[in-house]
Amino acid sequence: MKSISSLQNAQGNTQKKVCSKCGEEIALRRGEHNGITFAYFCRCDYEERMRAFTEREEAEKKQRVEELFKDARIGRRYHSCTLDSFKQELNPEAYRAVLRYVQDIERNVEKGIGLVLCGPVGTGKTHLAVAVLKEAIGAGYSGLFQTAPELMYRWNATYSSSGTTEEEFFRTLRDVRFLVIDDLGKGKWSERVAERLYAVINARYNELNPTVITTNLVGQDLRKYVGDAIADRLYDSCLFIEFKGKSFRVARLKGENGNEAGSAPTGKD
């Protein structure tokens, strides 16, 4: 008969090993995360590997957002424009409407729903347009900020430049997931440029790519400026939000906000 100690030794050779941290049996297992198969040995090993996946994905997302933000061509003056930095009391209804849009940003982008922010100068349209663009970029969508006069200049430049071709510029405007056109209504459009604007708006409309437009024009004035074809597509695919009130800039200079006249301007429409 074997002694108790020999039996214990024999049993020890076949005893299952357990993790000292989680108490689970140590054994080779396979897991899967976003299409990647990996090996792990116990519950805490699995959790550690999942944390590593999450940290790497968050780092990659942060890098992608930084690259998207850089590609969006947002001017330095507007880098501080966010929903939180907007003075809500100066245009509360417009702010709440934009906030509702942002709270469902992924659904709105996927359905191709854009915005037309219209109203007087200096009422915060550009500020909120940039804030929405940042939210879209933060959700992982590509974005681009262009003023209407800059569009006119760049379109005209493609006719005589050896740089970016007209087709390349059109594809950029058509394919970027989220486009902001600021100050539509400033300057006179040539017939050729007007045709290009229609081509861009129509292509984005067909591809369900949202467009955000800021303009001082309201109602029939906007329709007269862009034409029936563009106006109809904007009315069908965009939420119209009207901004009211006096110019922030003029109010600041007059000291109506409790600041001294001549205080530093922000230059944000």
Q: Which residue has the tokens 């809500």?
A: 88
The percent of residues above 70 in pLDDT, for the chain, comes to 80
Tell me which residue of 189, 155, 148, 191 sits closest to 172, measured CA to CA: 155
Structural domain boundaries in the chain: 1-71, 75-254
pLDDT at residue 69, as a whole number = 63
Q: What is the pLDDT of residues 192-235, one digit of tens each?
A: 778 889 999 999 999 999 999 999 999 899 999 999 999 999 99
Kindly report the average pLDDT of the chain as a whole number: 83
CA 204 – CA 198 distance, rounded (Å): 10
Strands (E), 104-243: 114-118, 143-147, 178-184, 211-215, 238-242
Return the H-helix or E-strand segment holding 33.
strand 29-33
pLDDT band, very low/low/confident/very high, at 265 (cuts 50, 70, 90): very low
Task: With beta carbons less than 8 A apart as the criterion, state whether 27 and 41 touch.
Answer: yes
pLDDT band, very low/low/confident/very high, at 252 (cuts 50, 70, 90): low
User: Highest-confidence range of 14-23, 59-68, 119-128, by mean pLDDT?
Assistant: 119-128
Task: With beta carbons less than 8 A apart as the criterion, state whether 164 and 111 touch.
Answer: no
CA 44 – CA 51 distance, rounded (Å): 10
Q: How does DSSP classify residue 216?
A: S
39-59 average pLDDT score: 87
Between the alpha carbon of residue 252 and those of residues 81, 118, 269, the distances in Å are 18, 21, 13
* Topology at the third CATH level for domain 75-254: Rossmann fold (3.40.50)
CA 118 – CA 64 distance, rounded (Å): 31
The helix/strand count (H/E) of the chain reads as 11, 7
Largest distance between two CA atoms of the chain: 106
Asked whether residue 111 carries a pLDDT value surpassing 60, the answer given is yes
- Which of 256 and 67 is assigned the larger pLDDT? 67
The percent of residues above 90 in pLDDT, for the chain, comes to 52
Asked whether residue 258 carries a pLDDT value surpassing 70, the answer given is no
